[in-house]
Each structure stands twice: as C-alpha cells, then as structure tokens.
Structure 1
Amino acid sequence: MSAGHGHGHGHGHGHGHGPARPGWRARLAHAVRPHSHDPADSLDAALEASAVGIRTLKISLAVLLATALAQAVVVAFTGSVALLADTVHNFSDALTAVPLWIAFLLGRRAPTRRFTYGFGRAEDLAGLFVVAMIALSAVVAGWQSIDRLLHPRTVEAPVAVAVAGLIGFVGNEAVAAYRIRTGRRIGSAALVADGHHARTDGFTSLAVLVGAVGVMLGVPAADPVVGLVITAMILVVLVGAARDVLGRLLDAVDPALTDAALRSLRAVEGVRGVEDLRLRWTGHRLRAEVAVLADPGLDLAAAHDLAHEAQHALLHGVPKLVAATVHVGPWVEGVAARDPHAGVAHHPTPAVLPGLTGA
C-alpha cells in the first residue's frame, strides 16, 4: 500500500513541526482553519518561494553592481591592484545572480511527461556556474597581484582606495545578510552559498583597507600582497561552495533532516518500523520516499489511512518538505511464512540506511 501526494506545507497553523501531539490551542486553530492537503497548495507554496528568491536576486544584483561600479571608478584613478581584485570579484558575484534568476524561473514550470519531477534541479546547475565564477575571480585576482609584484606601479590616492574598500564591505555585507536570510527561509542552498560568498567578499574588501594603509605608511608592496591574500580567501570560498553544490547534485541532505523524518514516522500510531527512507532536494524543495511497517492484519483502507498519517507527520516534522511517497508493508515478528517482497526479489534493490527496521 503506497500513498504519494504532494502536500503544501504552508498551513499557517499554530503548533510546531515536531512529532509531539499539538496542544488544545493548536487543535482549536486546526478546527477553525484546517490543513490543506491539495497538491495545488504545494505548487502555490513553491511558486511563492521562487518569487521571493527572484526578488532577492533582483535587489542584491542592483546593490552589488552599484558597489562594483563605484569601486571601478576609484580603480581607474588610483591603479590599486588590491582594489582591482576586489572589484573583479564583486562584479563576478553580482553576475552569479543571473543564472540563479533563470533557475528560479525554470523551477516554477510545471512537471512534464519528460521532466516528471519538474525543473527544480536547474537551481543546482546554476550553483555550478556560481562555483565557476568564484574560480575565475580567484585566477584573475591572483594573476593581477603577481603581475603587480613583478611590475610595481604607484598607487595614487590611497585614501580613496580605502574608502572604496569600505564601500565594498558595506555593499557585500548587506547583500550577504539578505541572501542568506532568504535562502534559509525558502530552503535554497544555492542562494545561501551565494550569500556566504558575498559575505567573504565583504571581508576581502576590508583587506583593501590594509593595503591602502600600507601604501600611506610607505610600504607599496602591501597593495599586491593584500591582493594575494584576497586570492587565498577566494579559494577558501571556492572549496566551501564547491562542496555544497556538488553535495546537492549527489542528493546530500543534512543528517538532522533524516533524523527529523525518522522521529516523525516513529511517532505515528500504527507504524511498527521504518524499512526505508530517502530524502532528496530538487532545488529548494524537499521530497521523501519512505517504506514503513505495520500490522499485517490491516485492511486496504486502514493501510491507506496509515500512509496518509505518515505523510502528515513528515510534512509537519521535516522543514521544506513538499511531497512524500509512503509505502506500507507488513511487520512480521520473527520469520515470515511468506516473504511479502518475494515478487520483486529477483530485481536488484539499492541498499537502505542501517538500523532503520524497528520502531
């Protein structure tokens, strides 16, 4: 017995999302404003999350472009390689909003007979572009810094350079906080990673201040040296961003989500054990496929009801979950007289998580 409906999780209810039973206030609110389990509500919630992500990208793109343009004007007059490295990185960071924007638009399209899960994975592919842009900015910044060490140039107006570095920090930090907050709220790893990228850019902009101060103190080499430091910091960001993006492409999830799903399922009355559990992100939407064990004496209607109770528990207990497919199998103490899975035993099956079976 399986049940697999995509449920919207924007219930607007008053109780928490853990496995515990709701209190009397929550039950009263539920009676007045019952949960909606129409698949259309799940689509509406997903579309709303995409719209929020697009709005965030629009605003952050405008802020970063204005920041980078202001820095570029100072570079043209001062010739600071440290500021140039930071400006190039800020431009690249601004441009990463474009593929993410396109990915959010694609993710809003309905599933088709060819793309039955929809187009949410476009968001993860856009993350690859983000990683590529970070790598490119590291190469450009490093090359410019080494070239300036080999061919020194006088940095003019170091005070203006310092001010431009401060502008870069303020602009990037504002964008970072906005992207991270929105990304966490809608469950977009790509947007969160891009926010952390912007935050690191802000700190590298502060490093430009150090180079400018070094020039004012009579140490011209401080400028390209700081450019190399910025390059190293970009490489650190590159490693973290690549790990997160590739993890999503390999269906990695936070183990805390897996634990939350198990707690929710095991708290459902009638669930004797969890036989299998799969969680997968498709962009900023989380989906689940689970197999639970129940009393073999249940009739079809009771097994169907139990599957829906398990779905309901998952939607409450696992953040950002929009759909769950639940298979109900028989729980047999000891050795079963008949293997309930004998009909498909000759087909290869993927390994399951260890230690799942049992309540």
Structure 2
Amino acid sequence: MKDIFALLKQGSKASLTASIVNFFIAGLKGVAFLFTANVAMFAEMMHSLGDAINQFFVFIGSSLSKKPPTKRFPFGFGRLVNLVCVFAVVVVGILAYETVKEGIHHIVEPLPGTADTSMLLINIGVLGAAAILEGYVLYKAGKELLGQAGQPQDGLKPLTLSFKHMDRAKPATKLVFLEDTVATSGALLAILAILVGRFTGFAQAEGIASVIIGLMMFYIVYKVFMENAAGVLGESDPYMEQRVAQIVLRHEEITDIQKLFVLKEGDNLHVEIVAETDPDITVEHANEIRDEIEALILEQSHVTDVNTEFEVDDGRRAWPETQEQMDRRSKRSKKSKEE
C-alpha cells in the first residue's frame, strides 16, 4: 500500500487538480441542467464530465508510469501513461458523440424559450463560475507547460506562449492544457448561445453551441489519441535529437555520429548514441569522454538515461558537421600547413 501511495505522489498534479475541478464543475452544471433543461448546459456538463474522467485516468497512468524498471520490463513503465490516455479518450469520444447528437436534435426541434429571469441567472452564473475555474486551471497548466519547455512564465505568457511550445511538454500537462482550453472557450460559447437565444428569439443558438462544443471535444479525442498512440509504439523526439547531437559534436575528440536517437518513454526520454572518435585513444580516456558527454545530456529536460558507444572514425561523414567542428577542422588544417 505504501508503494502505491508513493507512486500516486509522483503523478501529474496538473491532471489531478484538473480532474477534481472538472468533477465539481460537472456537478454544478448537472444541477443547473435539471432546473433549466438547457441543452447548452447539458453539452457543457458532458464536456466537464469527460474532461474529469480523462484527467483522472491520466493522473493514474502518470503515477503508475513512475514505477521503477523490473527484470521483465527493463525500460520501465513510462509508456503506460500513453496507453491509459488512448483508452481514456474513448470515453470522451462517446460523450462528444452524445453532445453533438443532442445539439443536432435541438437545432431540428428547438425548445421554446423561457422568459424566467431566474433560470437565465442560474445558467449564466454556473457557466460563469465554470469559465473562471477552468481558466484558473488553464493558467496553471500553461505555467507548468512553459516550465517544462524552459520558457518564461510571467504575465499572460501561460495563456499565449504555451501554444507555441506544447510539443516540449509532458503528455499529461499537454492534455490538461488542451482540454481546459476547450473547456474555457466552451463555457464562454454556451453563455453567448444562451444570451442570443434569450434576447433574439433564435432558439437554435443553444443547439449550435452544443454541436460546436461536441466537435471541439472530438478534436481533443483525435489529438490525444494520435499523440499517445505514437507514444505507445515508441516515438522519437527530433528536437531533442538535434540538441543531443550538438552536445556530442561539441566535444573536441568526437569526430562524427554514426547513430543517434531519442526515444520517448512516457514523460521520460531514452538516449542511444554511437559516436566516432580517434582510434589512438585509450579505453580509460574513452570512458572519461563518455562520462563527460553523458553528464551533459542528463542535464537536459526529461532525459533519464543515456547509452553511449564509440566506434573508430571511418573517414565517412554520417552526421552533418556543426559550425564549431568546421572551425576546429579549419584551424587544424591551417596549423598543419604552417608546420
């Protein structure tokens, strides 16, 4: 039992917070829907419930993914968070379908509007509170996302700059940020639809809002499924591969890279390198070079393990030279000519 609690403590706090907030919001919207029978409120309730379930699954998956490697699973359980997300979005997909279906039904057969001001205030009040709470979670998720991407987090950057750096975030943080972006905008859209329906008499507005919210949910299903399916299969990280290559080639005694890949293992990155070096160096010195390079790579965000091997320089270029390497080669050539 202690082991389970220890793993849960390592789970994604952003996912747990978002799940609790969304369960609370779904309850508020459910009560409001029972009193008002408002279809836009129903769509929002389903959206919040789907987000809460999805984020709770992600929290559990991110916790269990921190389980240390075993003899049977030597690379650990990092991809478990991707597998859990793939199954979780099935639930959200079902809820999205029901939301779109309900919206279409109310476009074809709109409910008559009501002049009851108290019903209007209930709907606007609940959706307004939901938008504020969802916006708070979105801001916190944006800050966490920028922190993982190594970007500044001040001011409104968590709400603006985060979209540019989503690819550098952990899967759980990215999911929370995407879902709460849709949740916040969905609550505001539902408020707009209710006001349009009330003051213009356009009864189909709420049904249209429900369809739009459902389609946004489908987008999250698609986005989350595709990214986590790739994670389950074993996806490379091209951005980190280039960064690691720069670190390796910056070392004066590394002449080339034969092979390099960075594999995503859930929240973690696994690095494999085969580098070329001078054939005259000793084994002891090669180990020193390996330790220096691996220490620098392990300082990079999300990198948990590095496996480095050396081969003798074969004289053929396998990896593009860096500017630093070209400068070093030019200096050596110039010095050789002078001698």
Once the two structures are TM-superposed, the CA of residue 76 in structure 1 deviates from its matched residue by: 0.6
Structure 1 residues 108 and 333, CA gap change in structure 2 (3 angstroms): closer
**What does residue range 249-288 of structure 1 map to in structure 2 within 5 Å?**
249-288=232-271
In 2, Cα distance between equivalents of 1:48 and 1:331: 47
Given the alignment of the two structures, is residue 356 of structure 1 paired with residue 338 of structure 2, yes or no?
no
> How far, CA to CA, are the matches of 2:27 and 2:8 in structure 1?
28
Report the alpha carbon displacement of residue 125 of structure 1 after superposing the two structures with TM: 0.8
Q: Deviations over 1:80-131 (max 9, x none)?
A: 1111011111011011122222223322322111111111111111221343
For the pair 1:302 / 2:285, whether they are aligned, the reply is yes
After TM superposition, the score normalised by the length of structure 1 is 0.75
2:22 maps to 64
- Of residues 55, 62, 65, the one that matches 1:97 is 55
Partner of 1:9 in structure 2?
none
Contact 1:265 1:313 in 2 (8 A): no
Using the aligned pairs only, state the percent identity: 16
- Superposed CA offset, 1:42-77 (max 9, x none): xxxxx9997354433332222111111111111111
In the alignment, structure 2 segments of 5+ residues that lack a partner are 149-168, 326-339
Q: Which runs of 5+ in 1 are unaligned?
A: 1-46, 335-353
Counterpart check, 1:147 vs 2:129: no
Q: Structure 1 residues 52, 169: closer, same or farther in 2, change over 3 A? A: farther
The one-letter code sitting in structure 2 at the alignment partner of 1:146 is I
The corresponding residue for 1:120 is 78
Residue 214 (1) aligns with residue 177 (2): no
- Name the CA distance, whole Å, in 2 between partners of 1:62 and 1:232: 24
* Between structures 1 and 2, the one with greater helix share: 2
User: CA–CA distance in 1 between the matches of 2:108 and 2:221?
Assistant: 26
SS in 2 for 1:96: helix
Contact (CA 8 Å) 2:273, 2:309: kept in 1 or not? yes
Residue 90 of structure 2: aligned partner: 132
In the alignment, the residues of structure 2 paired with residue 181 and residue 188 of structure 1 have an alpha-carbon distance, to the nearest angstrom, of 13
Residue 214 (structure 1) shift: 1.7
**CA 105–256 in structure 1, closer or farther in 2 if over 3 Å, else same:** closer
Q: 1:320 to 1:48 in 2, by over 3 A?
A: farther
**What's 2:231 paired with?**
248
For 1:337-348, list aligned pairs within 5 A.
none
* Cα separation, partners in 2 of 1:112 and 1:299, compared to 1, 3 Å: same
CA contact (8 A) 2:7 2:66 kept: no
TM-score, with length taken from structure 2:
0.79
In 1, Cα distance between equivalents of 2:293 and 2:38: 61
Aligned residues of 1:52 and 1:182 also touching (Cα < 8 A): no
Please give the secondary structure, in 1, of the residue aligned with 2:68: coil
Dislocated runs of 4+, deviation >4 Å:
47-50, 183-187
Q: Look up the SS of the partner of 2:271 in the other structure.
A: strand
The match for 1:176 is 138
Corresponding letter in the other structure for 2:123: V
- Give, in whole Å, the separation in 2 of the partners of 1:169 and 1:178: 14
Once residues 242 and 58 of structure 1 are traced to their aligned partners in structure 2, the CA distance between those partners, rounded to angstroms, is 20
Q: 1:174–1:52: structure 2 CA closer, same or farther, 3 Å change rule?
A: farther
Q: Does residue 203 in structure 1 map to residue 166 in structure 2?
A: no
C-alpha contact 1:159 1:212 (8 A) present in aligned 2: no
Alignment partner, residue 152 of structure 2:
none
Q: Does 1:188 align with 2:150?
A: no
Secondary structure of residue in 1 paired with 2:257: strand
For 1:238, the equivalent position in structure 2 comes to 221
The offset of 1:180, in angstroms, is 4.1
Aligned equivalents of 1:161, 1:211: Cα separation in 2: 11
Q: Which amino acid aligns with 1:321?
A: V
Asked if the contact 2:64–2:77 (Cα under 8 Å) also holds between the matched residues in 1, the reply is yes
Question: Which letter does structure 1 place at the counterpart of 2:92?
Answer: I
Give the letter for the 1:199 counterpart.
T
**Aligned 8 A contact 1:266 1:272 in 2:** yes
